Structure 1
Amino acid sequence: MLRVLLTNDDGIEALGIRKLAEALLALSDVEIFVVAPAEERSGVGHGLTYRSALSPKPHSFYGLPVTAWTIDGNPADCIKGAYHLLFEEGKKPDIVFSGINVGTNLGRDIYYSGTCSGAREAVILGIPGVALSYDNWTDQDNYGQVEEIIRPLLQLFCDQAREDRLAPEVFWNVNIPHLPPEEIRGIVPAALAMNHYEDKYNQEAEGYWLTREYPDRSNPTPEEDYYLVKRGYIAVTPVHIDATDRTLLDKMLEWPIVKQSGNEKK
């Protein structure tokens, strides 16, 4: 039996995590656990709680056959707390799914996203992690037929987790168009679109609100996740958690103030 752990950043009462659980329950040989924030924690990035105590609490979950808790923290807290506090040694989760998020997490969103942090924290702990987001920001109560759309992808990730074939130190960022199944053009590998929007601050009576503008680009890079989702594809991006630029490590050896390591006397 594959032990599957779910989290999100929209909170345990969000419709997206219920849709994710329902899609997974249609698969065979899976045991599902849910550990999600007690309240919405969108946009918290990879924040951890360490100045106050965490208090996991059992929680009912729509009458579905899953075991669920809430944690009064962020998505990364939910995964770290679940791993250390709620699962016995030898019975840790086999895979973590985070989502389904209201709205996409594309390009540099992965650094701000609580959804992505749940999957990233799983990978830090040595567990495969998958973040799922749905392009329904302007229609947030409508998840369409997302369970049907993502079920083959969920099956693929679960099968690869069983066979220990998912790459270590990588979480998978999945973005799904808000379309009926027959209009989805396919599942494709995608690169992060790092410049698909611009941050703007709009002044209101109470202060400045952060907003976004999406400039038209006449020649977008065809493999970027934003443009693939807008063209009707499910975009899947492998995101490595080691952000070291190793090419620059070598070039730094040319800096006159840098001493090369490895030559010290023992």
Structure 2
Amino acid sequence: MTRVLVTNDDGINAQGIRKLVEALMTQADLDIYVVAPSEERSGVGHGLTYRSAVLPEAHPFYGYPVKAWAVNGNPADCVKAAFHLLFQEGVKPDLVFSGINVGSNLGRDVYYSGTCSAAREAVILGVPAVALSYDNWYDQENYGEIVTIVQPLLAEFLQQQSRKQLPTDVFWNINIPHRSSQDIQGVAPAVLAMDHYQDVYKREEEGYWLQREYPEHLGQQEREDYRLLQEGYITVTPIHIDATDKALLETVNDWSVIKNWRSGQQ
């Protein structure tokens, strides 16, 4: 049996996580655990709870044959709680799925997204992980054919995991267009679109609200996830958790401050 942990940032009662579990239940020989926030925690990034207690509580999950807990914390807290509090000592999931998020997580969203941060936390703890997001932000109650659409993706990751082909220092960021299965153009490897929107603060009576604008001249490079999603492709982006620029790191030895320091120490 493959042990699968499912989490999200929209909360344990969100429709997206239910759809993800339904899709996973079509796969054979899975032992499914759900550990998700007790309420919505979107946009919290990789925030952790350490100034107050974390209390996982058993939670019913639509009568499905899974074990589920709600956590009074953020998505990264849920993954930590599963590893350190809910599983037996020394027992880890084989694979973590986070989602299915309401709305896409493209480009620099991977740093703000609780969905992506849950997957990143799993990788930090040594387990391969997949973040899944659905581009239905403006149609949030409509998940269309998402269960059918994601099944081949889930099967692919499960097969790769069973063959030990998934790296443990990378999480996979998946974005799915809000289209029928017949209208999806395919699955495409994609780079992050780091400049596809602009932040705009709009003044309201109570203060300023952060919003986004999407100028046409931004985010139009050929392999960017934003562009490919707009064209109807499911995008797949591997995100390495080691963000060190190792090539640039080598040039630091040429800095005058380092050379001067060394000469002064001699």
Equivalent position of 1:85 in the other structure? 85
Alpha-carbon distance in structure 2 between the residues aligned to 1:24 and 1:168: 21
Equivalent position of 1:221 in the other structure? 221
Structure with higher helix content: 2
Alpha-carbon distance in structure 2 between the residues aligned to 1:89 and 1:155: 28
Equivalent position of 1:169 in the other structure? 169
Structure 2 CA distance for partners of 1:74 and 1:219, relative to 1, 3 Å = closer
Alpha-carbon distance in structure 1 between the residues aligned to 2:63 and 2:46: 30
Alpha-carbon distance in structure 1 between the residues aligned to 2:72 and 2:158: 28
Equivalent position of 2:138 in the other structure? 138
In the TM superposition, structure 1's runs of 4+ consecutive aligned residues that sit over 3 Å from their partners are: none
Equivalent position of 2:149 in the other structure? 149
Q: Which amino acid aligns with 1:201?
A: Y
**1:90 positional shift:** 4.0
Equivalent position of 1:27 in the other structure? 27
Q: How does 1:1-266 map to 2 (within 5 A)?
A: 1-217=1-217, 220-258=220-258
**1:91 positional shift:** 2.8
Superposition CA RMSD, Å = 1.4
Alpha-carbon distance in structure 2 between the residues aligned to 1:51 and 1:242: 27
My pick for the range that moved more, 155-164 or 122-131, is 155-164
**1:183 positional shift:** 0.5
Partner deviation per Cα, 1:31-76 (whole Å, 9 max, x = no partner):
1000000010000000000111110100000111110001100000
Alpha-carbon distance in structure 1 between the residues aligned to 2:30 and 2:217: 43
**1:219 positional shift:** 8.2
8 Å CA contact 2:197–2:219 kept in 1: the answer is no
TM-score, normalisation: structure 1? 0.96
Alpha-carbon distance in structure 2 between the residues aligned to 1:171 and 1:177: 20
Q: Number of residues paired by the alignment?
A: 261
Structure 2 CA distance for partners of 1:209 and 1:33, relative to 1, 3 Å = same
**1:259 positional shift:** 5.8
Q: Which amino acid aligns with 1:22?
A: E
Q: Which amino acid aligns with 2:31?
A: E
8 Å CA contact 2:193–2:219 kept in 1: the answer is no
**1:167 positional shift:** 1.5
**Runs of 5+ in structure 1 lacking a partner?**
261-266
Alpha-carbon distance in structure 1 between the residues aligned to 2:212 and 2:224: 18
Partner deviation per Cα, 1:73-131 (whole Å, 9 max, x = no partner):
00000001110001113431000000000000000000000000010000000000100
Alpha-carbon distance in structure 2 between the residues aligned to 1:240 and 1:114: 17
TM-score, normalisation: structure 2? 0.96
1:82 is paired with a residue whose SS is helix
Percent of pairs identical after alignment?
63
1:5 is paired with a residue whose SS is strand
Alpha-carbon distance in structure 2 between the residues aligned to 1:129 and 1:183: 27
Alpha-carbon distance in structure 2 between the residues aligned to 1:219 and 1:184: 20
**1:258 positional shift:** 1.7
Partner deviation per Cα, 1:162-201 (whole Å, 9 max, x = no partner):
2211012100000000000000110110000000000000
